[in-house]
Amino acid sequence: MARRSSLESLEEQLRCPVCLEVFSEPLMLQCGHSYCRGCVRSIDMDPLGQLQCPVCRCAVDGDSPPPNVALARIVDALREINEPGQGPPETCNQHHNPLSLYCEEDQTLICGLCGSIGSHRAHKVTPISSVYSRMKEDISCLMTNFQTQKRKLEEQICKMAYNKSRITNESDVLKWVVRKEFGELRHCVELEEASFMQKVENTASTLIASIQTQADHMSQLLAKFQEAEGTLEALSNEGHLDFITKYGSIAPRFRESQQREQRKERTYSSISFNPGFNHSDIKMTVWKRLHRRVLPAPECLKFDSLTAHPMLQLSEDNTSVQCGVLVNRLPNNPERFSYSYCVLANRGFSSGKHYWEVQVGEKPKWRLGLIKGTACRKSKLPKSPEGGVWLIGLKEGRLYEAFSTPRVTLPLMSQPHRLGVFLNYERGELTFYNADSPDELGFIYSYQAELQGKVYPLFDVCWQERGANKLPISLPHPLTEAYGD
């Protein structure tokens, strides 16, 4: 009874989901589900040869699904056990004895006489009960493996569905971000376009109004000349007596008017249309202004008093620093610079994009940039990327240089009073700009570095040169200043 119940349970597991009969020539789809060959052929396919799995609804290739060999063997074994008339006979055809043994070599059921005196006497034989237990265990293992593979496939399909859903959601979010960012860029470009158009229209209207004023005045003068010409022509047609009589009152008046206009020399010179920019500069100007807009918001930095050299004097709010003349009595903590007249910002960076600005004014000598947090501060500053320091600077009030290897002289056309520094940590980019203009940034120099660990904005005030270099370096507060629209 228990055996029959187990076989019925096994049979239920081996039914096709479409026809609900025991599998016949089972085929396995790409999604992992199996169906009878005839059932697969009955499922409609689209023009691309794809069909939809009735269980998981996935679209799979329906042209040539492979046979599920393991499942077919299990079905065949079940049929051999269950189907009456098709299984092996219960008695030996030769000796008519009960089939009690199994020949391992020929893989067939035999009786005791077949195994002792018959054709199987030299073969390895096993009692049916042992063979049955072994085969049942094998079938059970096959079923377990089949079910395990089925669960794994179902888990993979679920993962794929989740992954597909996640990608869809992430792509929707990214598309929203792209639309938002490009919308802001378009708005910025539209503002720049409106600004350029306003300049063109204002310049054109001013020039046209000026020309129109001159044209109106000359038209009035022309009307006077035409009137005078008509009067003189009428006088010329008078008789001798009338001509002589009227001449004295007309000719002198017109002669005086004519001489007065000749003295004014009313000669019109063509006016050139110059709106203050060249059409070839529009793209570059807009790009520079957009560059200013798309940078991260300026960091709100202050100087870190714990790192300042003992001769540096910091303002009360730690936003301005200059080199003094006396050494301050300060603790010689590990963070403090002991040799170079330097100070760090109160914030370091180990990831992300950051932008900050520094006011150097008319100071004739300074250096600023970035330093690794592990760089030595108790000896002379290693002014090179190899020493973990990336700097640009000014000396003698006129010579700008980048402290790369070798050093590079920077041919700046104008002296920047405010500098912008942009750090892209992940890409290892450190870029310096002339930030004097609130609308655009002028490129100065860029470093490419492999950054690891925390890095800090560095400010080298330099020796005060007996007062010649006493001007401070300051950190503008971004919240109190305008940085573009």
Q: Within 13 A of 364's CA, how many CA atoms are on the CB side?
A: 11
Q: Which two tokens stand for residue 462?
A: 């330099």
pLDDT at 477: 81
- The 10s digit of each residue's pLDDT in 251-301 is 777 777 777 766 666 666 677 777 777 777 677 677 767 766 677 778 899
Q: What six digits make up the tokens of 239?
A: 């008789």
> What was the pLDDT predicted at 277?
73
More confident residue, 11 or 211: 211
Please report, as a single letter, which amino acid is at residue 131. V
Query: pLDDT tens digits, residue range 158-197?
Result: 999 999 999 999 899 889 888 988 888 888 888 888 888 9
Per-residue pLDDT at 480: 46
pLDDT at 49 over 60: yes
Q: Are 106 and 120 in contact (CB under 8 A)?
A: yes
Note the pLDDT of residue 264: 66
The pLDDT value given to residue 111 = 83
* pLDDT for the residue 6: 66
pLDDT at 145 over 60: yes
pLDDT bin (cut points 50, 70, 90) of residue 335 is very high
Packing angle between helix 282-294 and helix 128-236, nearest 10 degrees? Answer: 130
Judged on CB neighbours under 10 Å (0-12, 13-18, 19+), 395 is middle
Residue 186 CB contacts under 8 Å (≥ 6 apart), including other chains = none
Query: So what CATH class is 2-101?
Result: alpha beta
Categorize the per-residue pLDDT at 85 as very low, low, confident or very high, splitting at 50, 70 and 90: very low
3-state secondary structure 112-159: HHHHHCCCCCCCCEEEHHHHHHHHHHHHHHHHHHHHHHHHHHHHHHHH
Q: What's the average model confidence in pLDDT over 198-210? A: 89
- Residue 362 · residue 469 · CB < 8 Å: no
Would you say 432 and 419 are in contact if contact means Cβ atoms under 8 Å apart?
A: yes
Cα–Cα distance measured from residue 394 to residue 380, given in angstroms and rounded to the nearest whole number: 18
Quick count: other Cβ atoms within 10 Å of Cβ 366? Answer: 23
Q: Is the pLDDT of residue 483 over 50?
A: no
Q: 156: which 2 tokens? A: 């993979």
Q: How many CB atoms lie within 10 A of CB 296?
A: 13
pLDDT, tens digit, for every residue of 352-361?
Answer: 999 999 999 9
Determine the Cα–Cα distance for residues 419 and 321; give it in Å rounded to an integer: 16
Length of the chain: 485
DSSP single-letter state for residue 324? -
Threshold 0.85, pTM exceeds: no
The residue among 337 and 467 whose pLDDT is bigger is: 337
Query: Which among 238-252, 414-428, 435-449 has the top mean pLDDT?
Result: 414-428
In the chain, count H helices and then E strands. 7, 20
Q: What was the pLDDT predicted at 485?
A: 39
Alpha helices in 237-281 (DSSP H): 240-264
Q: How far apart are CA 418 and CA 454, in angstroms?
A: 25
Q: What is the mean pLDDT of the chain?
A: 85
> Predicted confidence band at 437 (pLDDT cuts at 50, 70, 90)?
confident
Instruction: Break the chain into its structural domains and give their ranges.
Output: 2-101, 296-480
Share of the chain above pLDDT 70, in %: 91
Average pLDDT over residues 455-484: 82
Amino acid, res. 2: A
Of 18 and 1, the structure prediction assigns the larger pLDDT to 18
Q: How far apart are CA 205 and CA 1, in angstroms?
A: 107
pLDDT at 401 (0 to 100): 96
Which pLDDT tens digit goes with each residue over 390-424? Answer: 999 999 989 999 999 899 999 998 899 999 999 99
What pLDDT shows up at residue 295? 76
pLDDT at residue 351 greater than cutoff 80: yes
- Over residues 53-81, mean pLDDT: 82
Q: Residue 482: is its pLDDT beyond 60? A: no
Residue 52, pLDDT > 80, answer: yes
pLDDT band at residue 87 using 50, 70 and 90 as cut-offs: very low
User: Token pair 């569905």 is at which residue?
Assistant: 161
What's the pLDDT score for residue 285?
72
User: At what angle are helices 69-82 and 2-13 packed, to 10 degrees?
Assistant: 150
> Which pLDDT belongs to residue 93?
83
Contacts of 339 (CB under 8 A, 6+ apart): 309, 378, 379, 380, 381
Domain made up of 296-480: CATH architecture: Sandwich (2.60)
3-state secondary structure of 15: strand
Checking if the pLDDT of 459 tops 90, the result is yes
pLDDT band at 307 (very low <50, low <70, confident <90, very high): very high
Tell me which range, 182-186, 218-222, 266-270, 429-433, is most confidently predicted by mean pLDDT. 429-433
Instruction: Name the residue among 327, 301, 307 with its Cα closest to residue 464.
Output: 327
Angle of CA points 283, 289, 294, to nearest 5°: 115
When pLDDT is averaged across residues 234-253 and rounded to a whole number, the result is: 78
pLDDT of 247 reads 75
More reliable by pLDDT, 62 or 212: 212
In the chain, the percentage of residues whose pLDDT exceeds 90 is 34
